[in-house]
């Protein structure tokens, strides 16, 4: 696990964009997984900026997203498809037919889960999956539970998640109580995971996920099962981490310049 802690959010977003850029350059038909929420907005802004300057391209990429509310039409401005279009996809050169997200308006959500699993199988190896974390530790919409199945599934959102996310809904009381989410197993299938967390509201979930027991009761902790997990945190989100992990983060920062000199990043994980 590579944990990096930042005082400056623009540096964090720059490093996150470097990681996405590396995945995009991974070869033809590079598939990457992205997520929604306020956390990746700065990253997406940076990707749009780099695309405009010709530094990166999505022309050969495939992008899939984690989740969608059930009951929203694909063009509903509150939906995650609309979010991705507005924050990223309308501004970059990804062919629209190579963007995949569960369809919350499908007549049978269970069928839609199987269709999305087939999409994930079809797009093949995902070089990177970017995720955020909810205040209760959820990833995608995998809410804390006794066990978490591998594949895409229908979930009932917790009261806390509904309350938090209602702030971004117009009108807030229209927020659906159910969603379709990629399963934790499929998230872990990506070659590399990038977890980003910002703000003190995430500090408890981040500390539990990175330093507590690995348990479906805190889905973020399951990310530690991945051999190649990079975690980018601002100081507030990192504030409850035990000192030993903060020390590791300091070490990672100290050796990072060597990566730019051609140091093979995979060899230190
Ligand atoms: C949402 C999304 C997650 C996201 C999380 C945190 O409900 N389903 O993918 O990571 O909540 O959102 P934010 O980044 O706005 O804090």
Mean pLDDT in residue range 11-17 = 97
Q: Is 136 a catalytic residue?
A: yes
pLDDT of residue 50: 98
pLDDT of residue 38: 96
DSSP string, 59-124: TT-EEEESEEETT--TT-TTSHHHHHHHHTGGGS---GGGEE---TT-S-HHHHHHHHHHHHHHH-
DSSP SS3 for 127: strand
- CA 69 / ligand 1 centre spacing (Å): 12
pLDDT of residue 138: 98
Token pair recorded at residue 208:
């539990």
pLDDT at 214 over 90: yes
Mean pLDDT in residue range 39-65 = 97
208 in contact with ligand 1, CB cutoff 6 A: no
Q: Is 260 a catalytic residue?
A: no
161 contacts 232 by C-beta, under 8 angstroms: no
pLDDT digits (tens, 9 = 90+) for 53-78: 999 999 999 999 999 999 999 889 99
- Backbone dihedral region for residue 45 (phi beyond 0: left; psi -120 to 50: alpha; all else: beta): alpha
pLDDT of residue 263: 38
Tell me which of 13, 65, 112, 136 is the catalytic residue.
136
83 in contact with ligand 1, CB cutoff 6 A: no
Q: From edge to edge, which strands make up the β-sheet containing 31-34?
A: 2-6, 229-234, 193-197, 126-131, 31-34, 62-65, 99-100
- CA 78 / ligand 1 centre spacing (Å): 14
Token pair recorded at residue 265:
């990043």
pLDDT of residue 269: 37
Reported confidence tier of residue 262, pLDDT bands at 50, 70, 90: very low
- CA 152 / ligand 1 centre spacing (Å): 17
176 contacts 190 by C-beta, under 8 angstroms: no
Q: Is 75 a catalytic residue?
A: no
178 contacts 71 by C-beta, under 8 angstroms: yes
| pTM across the whole model | 0.93
* Average pLDDT taken over every residue of the chain: 92
């Amino acid at each position: 696990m590579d944990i990096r802690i930042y005082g400056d959010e623009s540096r964090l977003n720059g490093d996150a964009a470097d990681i996405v850029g590396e995945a995009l350059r991974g070869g033809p038909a590079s598939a990457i997984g992205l997520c929604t929420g306020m956390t990746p907005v700065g990253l997406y802004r940076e990707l749009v900026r780099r695309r405009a300057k010709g530094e990166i391209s999505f022309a050969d990429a495939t992008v899939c997203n984690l989740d969608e509310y059930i009951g929203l039409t694909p063009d509903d401005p509150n939906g995650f498809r609309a979010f991705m279009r507005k924050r990223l996809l309308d501004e970059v050169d990804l062919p629209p037919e190579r963007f995949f997200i569960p369809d919350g308006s499908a007549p049978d959500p269970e069928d839609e889960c199987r269709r999305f699993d087939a999409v994930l199988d079809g797009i093949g190896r995902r070089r990177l999956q970017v995720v955020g974390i909810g205040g209760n530790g959820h990833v995608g919409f995998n809410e804390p539970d006794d066990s978490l199945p591998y594949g895409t599934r229908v979930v009932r959102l917790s009261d806390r998640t509904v309350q938090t996310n209602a702030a971004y809904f117009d009108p807030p009381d229209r927020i659906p109580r159910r969603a379709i989410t990629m399963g934790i197993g499929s998230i872990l299938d990506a070659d590399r995971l990038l977890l980003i967390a910002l703000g003190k509201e995430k500090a408890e979930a981040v500390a539990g996920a990175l330093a507590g027991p690995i348990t479906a009761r805190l889905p973020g902790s399951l990310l530690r099962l991945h051999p190649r997990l990079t975690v980018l945190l601002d100081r507030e989100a990192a504030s409850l981490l035990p000192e030993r992990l903060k020390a590791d983060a300091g070490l990672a920062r100290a050796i990072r310049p060597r990566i730019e000199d051609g140091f093979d990043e995979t060899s230190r994980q």
